[in-house]
Each structure stands twice: as C-alpha cells, then as structure tokens.
Amino acid sequence: MALRVGLAALAAMSLVTVPTNAARPADVVHDTDYTISLAGLPIAKASFHTKLEDRRYTISGTLSSAGLADILSSTSGRTEVSGTIESDKLVATDYSVRYQTGKKKRAIDIAFDKGNVTSATLTPQRKRPPKNWVPVTKDDMRGVVDPLSGLIFPASAKVCPKTLPVFDGESRMDLKLSAKGTKPFKTEGFSGDVIVCGIQFVPKSGYRKGREDVDYLRKLDSMEIWFAKSDSVQVYAPVYVRIPTKYGPVTVWATRFKG
C-alpha cells in the first residue's frame, strides 16, 4: 500500500508540463524521468511522456524495478490517463494501469464523467472477498480524482491544507494534506523553495479491515510530499515524496523538473 501511494505521486509528477490558463502552443510534448528508493537503495525507475493538444491532455508512463528489487522480484508496469483542462483543473476521462510482478499480472481501467466513476474494471477480478473486506459503494466513486491528475494544482490554488478523495480502481482513500512550511530543493531544471505538506492516509473502502499494512499507514504522521512551482506553466506538482515503512523509507525523487 505504501508503494501504491508513492507511485501515485510519482505518476502525477509527469504532469508538470501541462499549462493552466497560461498561453500555450497547440501541441506540447514533454519527457521526464524519476527514481524510487527504499532505505536509500534504488528499487525502481520510471519515465513519462506528456502530450497536450488544445484542451486535452494525455500522460503515458512506464515503470520498472531496479537494483535489489529487480533481483528479488522483477516488476514492470505502464499507466496512461487522458482528459480535459477545464477551469484551470485537470479532469480525467480515462485512466488505466497495467503491471506485472513476477508472474502475477493486473489491469485496471476507469472511466470518469466530471469526477464521477462511470465504470471500473479490475482484471483478473478478485476472488470471493474475505469477511473483513470493506466494499466500494457507488457513493465512494462520486466526486473523486484519479491518482495522477489529483496531485496537480494551479498556481493560484492553495496546495495544503487540502483533502484529496482518490479512487485508484480498487480502493477509495482520502489523502489529507497539511501545511508544514517550505524547504529548499534542487534538481535538473529547478532550484528554489518548495511547499512541504504532511500526508495523512485515510482508507475509506476497497481494503481488508484490520490489515496490518493499512493500519500502519493510517497511523503514520510523518509522511511528506513536496510541491514545486513551474513558472512556465503556472502549476504546482510533486517533486519529492517520503513514506516511512518497517523496512526503511520509500522515497520518490524527481531527477528532472522542466516546464
């Protein structure tokens, strides 16, 4: 679960090139690269390709395990989201994820209409849910954001505090962002202060009640996500995420931030 939260933030970083109300050409293309580490050791790398045509956006990304994680269990995946830019917000219409760990494969597809889920499929489907399973209801899929577009904010918006109602195709959760000041950050294409937000993970449905890793994340009060402002496109986007785990912190780092 911790890695899923981290990967959601990682995927959202690819959107830093999507302008809001700023003037933009008819077709914008941008490529970015990221790294994910566990206890300081690299475990995954990712690349994203962002394309903007008029009022529509498409983001496609690939993820592959690296280092020790690749030796223990090879993991690879790809994700894509498309939608429209409306009222200085990114509004998804379609979201998909395909990933494989070892021999296990999983596919997720979601269709949205103005923030409401119209269809969601999980392949292969879960077997009979356990007795402690908290099912996702229709109300849980209304007024939600996808894990990618949900972490991008217009420059005029208040980044934190804010509560993000996220649905990833399997689970419904709230990510509550709290203000923790600013910190200096430097990477290729960016150098300056970033907004630091604490993250509180609140599971709503689509999980096993009493599950150890869910309860662990629920109780954490030291998760952080940092947002940098891209002056060229006037948006805030994540550049760093830190999620403590029992095996050491999972960190997601933007190795390139160029608008």
pLDDT for res 119: 96
pLDDT digits (tens, 9 = 90+) for 118-127: 999 999 987 8
Assess whether pLDDT exceeds 60 at residue 70: no
pLDDT for res 138: 95
- Better-predicted residue by pLDDT, 96 or 59: 96
Please state, rounded to an integer, the average pLDDT across all residues of the chain.
83
The proportion of the chain whose per-residue pLDDT surpasses 70, expressed as a percent, equals: 83
The proportion of the chain whose per-residue pLDDT surpasses 90, expressed as a percent, equals: 42
Number of folded domains that form the chain: 1
pLDDT for res 16: 44
pLDDT for res 69: 53
Asked whether residue 259 is assigned to any structural domain, the reply reads no
Lowest mean pLDDT among 51-60, 67-76, 230-239, 247-256: 67-76
Beta-bridge partner residues of 6: none
Asked whether residue 22 is assigned to any structural domain, the reply reads yes
The whole-angstrom separation of Cα 145 and Cα 168 is 9
Asked whether residue 125 is assigned to any structural domain, the reply reads yes
Instruction: Give the strand pairing for 133-134 and 153-154.
Output: unpaired
Rounded alpha-carbon distances, angstroms, from residue 156 to 88, 138, 160, 229, 235: 9, 32, 12, 11, 8
Q: Residue with structure tokens 């993250």?
A: 199
110's CB contacts (< 8 A; 6+ apart) are: 94, 95, 96, 117, 119, 120, 146, 167, 169
Three-state DSSP string of the chain: CHHHHHHHHHHHHHHHHCCCCCCCCCEEEEEEEEEEEECCEEEEEEEEEEEEECCEEEEEEEEEECCHHHHHCCEEEEEEEEEEEECCEEEEEEEEEEEEECCEEEEEEEEEECCEEEEEEEECCCCCCCCCEECCCCHHHCCCECCCHHHCEECCCCCCCEEEEEECCCCEEEEEEEEEEEEEEEEECEEEEEEEEEEEEEEEECEECCCHHHHHHHHCCCEEEEEEEECCCCEEEEEEEEECCCCCCEEEEECECCC
CA atoms within 13 A on the CB side of 257: 25
Assess whether pLDDT exceeds 80 at residue 68: no
Do 166 and 173 form a contact (C-beta atoms < 8 A)?
yes
CA 176 to chain centre: 14
What average pLDDT score do residues 104-108 get?
92
Assess whether pLDDT exceeds 50 at residue 5: no
pLDDT for res 85: 78
Q: Token digits for 101?
A: 């760990």
Rounded to two decimals, the pTM is: 0.85
- Better-predicted residue by pLDDT, 51 or 166: 166
pLDDT for res 223: 93
Asked whether residue 131 is assigned to any structural domain, the reply reads yes
What average pLDDT score do residues 166-187 get?
95
Q: Which structural domain range is residue 246 located in? A: 2-254
- Better-predicted residue by pLDDT, 147 or 107: 107
- Better-predicted residue by pLDDT, 88 or 37: 37
pLDDT digits (tens, 9 = 90+) for 73-99: 678 889 899 998 776 677 899 999 998
Asked whether residue 37 is assigned to any structural domain, the reply reads yes
pLDDT for res 17: 43
**93, 233, 85, 92: which is closest to 156 by C-alpha?**
233
